[in-house]
Amino acid sequence: MARIFCGNEDQVNTTRVVGTYGYMSPEYLMKGRFSEKSDVFSFGVLLLEIVSGRKNSSFYDNEHSLSLIGFAWKLWNEGDITALVVPAISDPCFQVEIFRCIHIGLLCVQELAKDRPAVSTITSMLNSESVDLPPPKKPAFVERQSSLDTESITQNQEINSINNVTISDVNGR
């Protein structure tokens, strides 16, 4: 994505949005605006995936219709962030580092691009425990579509994708 920038531009508008849903920032997905903060959003999703051991694109919390980002946000607000961490890395020796990664991940997926940290700030946050982290604001894409909405979309797609073709072979006498 960085190749689309020219000179000193820090944001680019595009009419063709390409990417994987769940990793694209809201400003890029909805308005075609791409910037460094779009990459920050994607990095935040990856960070939450690594810590949780779950993929954002396939995660679904049936009870609350939450995405992985929404699930992390819910647990953060409830003070139960340990429920997000994959058991394979939930060693008490690394608990502070793991919680810090979740905190940074939530900062990266904040809804507004201006609220997300810069790449250089993220590097400092990851390399130094002395850097204070601000509290995260509400992230983008907290809720997933309900299963009812998904079923109706699927049914409509099936109805709209039926093709009837008649082939006539006309032979002269």
Is it true that domain 8-153 has CATH number 1.10.510.10?
yes
pTM equals: 0.71
- pLDDT higher than threshold 50 for residue 152: no
The confidence score (pLDDT) of residue 149 equals 45
The residues, any chain, with a CB within 8 Å of residue 118's CB and separated by 6 or more, are 36, 40
Which residues make beta-bridge pairs with 33?
13
Confidence of residue 88 (pLDDT cuts 50, 70, 90): confident
Break the chain into its structural domains and give their ranges. Answer: 8-153
The confidence score (pLDDT) of residue 142 equals 72
User: What CA–CA distances, in Å, run from 18 to 22, 75, 147, 151, 158?
Assistant: 12, 31, 25, 25, 24
Confidence of residue 168 (pLDDT cuts 50, 70, 90): low
